[in-house]
Structure 1
Amino acid sequence: MIRFSLRIPANLHERVTARAAADRRSLNSEILHLLEAALATPRADAGPPGGDPASPAPLRGTPDSSPA
């Protein structure tokens, strides 16, 4: 296991500590749990690499951008 130092704001430390206590975990275990959960969940804004060729490209410009 790798050890490293992490500096976080005091209010974030308080929130994670409270969550660890509520989940009956150590602070270290809670941080590992949160990281694993965050990395396992696909991001809503991240599409497949290179885009999906079956999906049309998003429209560009204003809704009424037809030539006059």
Structure 2
Amino acid sequence: MTIEQAVLENFRELPAEKQQEVLDFIQFLKHKLPSKKRRIPPSSIAGKGKTLGDIISPTVNEEEWECLK
């Protein structure tokens, strides 16, 4: 038996008010799902970003790290 079949079988056995609760919960879960929309930057800033340094190496020399002193 699939999950869908099990859910439907159990759903049909519920009284109408409980079926409505299940439907409300399903709609709540669907609303919580992350949006698939891709954000688009405003044209005034699109393409103007700069990478200022290497994302792997630190921006400050290790000699200047206070936690190593």
Scaled by the length of structure 1, the TM-score of the pair is 0.33
Of the two structures, which has the highest relative contact order with CA contacts closer than 8 Å and spacing of 6 or more? 1
Scaled by the length of structure 2, the TM-score of the pair is 0.33
User: In proportion to residue count, which structure has more helix?
Assistant: 2
The structure with the largest alpha-carbon Rg is 2
